[in-house]
Amino acid sequence: MLKIVRARDYQDMSRKAANIISAQIILKPDCVLGLATGTTPIGTYKQLIEWYEKGDLDFAKVSTYNLDEYRGLSHDDPQSYHYFMRENLFNHVNIDLANTHVPDGSNPDAEAACSEYDKIVAAAGYPDLQLLGIGNNGHIGFNEPDDHFSKGTHCVDLTESTIKANSRLFEHEEDVPRQAYTMGTQTIMYARMILVVANGEAKAQAVHDMCFGPVTPSCPASILQLHPNVVVVADEAALSLCE
């Protein structure tokens, strides 16, 4: 059973999610965190930064592994997830950048890039806590709806709905990369705890299907029903179909 934590709004969701992550860091200072990008986790990262600045959190021994990265973008591209993580978390806390990891989207050899990432995630023992957002179509990471659940890190063709959703972060929709490297659902399921954050009415159907729908690769997030330790923190709008 997925544990659902109700939040009043985005700010409350962000604070509750940050509480769970901070507890993990405090209980295990050298923990392995799986991190996510997108607009949903930004508030959570801001809260973690605030607590770090107050002296309540120490990231010195933490290591991180991000879910995904656009294919074809350099690490310094403002739209890359390498850049996103530095701007929204890493540059503001005392984490060792050598202990932060994001798939290498700048490597045109998809097989090599994905295989290498699988090796380093496995060598770390997989995340103690994996943070996830959820797409409007039920994707986690960039694992799009399909006829099967993915396994290891792989290259995906982004769906039109995902491209459209992500275009708000680009100057033009045609600037959105059409492919990405992403952890597979099997890799995500190896995490010892999974924390899903969701807000807004646009996520309501996906959240419902994740929690209460059939387990099917047409809604990749539904596989989380099979994980023994999942917490979903979502606001009232995102939970509006889960009454």
Just list the catalytic residues. 68, 137, 139, 144
DSSP 169-183: GSSSGGGS-SEEEE-
Structure tokens at 39: 């607009």
Sheet of 154-157: strands edge to edge? 68-70, 179-182, 154-157
CA distance 102 to 82: 6
Which residues have a Cβ under 8 Å from the Cβ of 198 and sit 6 or more positions away?
13, 40, 133, 134, 206, 207, 232, 233, 234, 235, 238
CA distance 19 to 73: 33
The CA-based diameter of the chain, rounded to the nearest angstrom, is 47
φ/ψ region of 219 (left if φ > 0, alpha if ψ in -120 to 50, else beta) reads beta
Reduced to 3 states (helix: H, G, I; strand: E, B; else coil), residue 44 is: helix
CA distance 168 to 172: 8
For residue 196, give Cα distances in angstroms to 93, 104, 115, 121, 172.
23, 24, 26, 20, 29
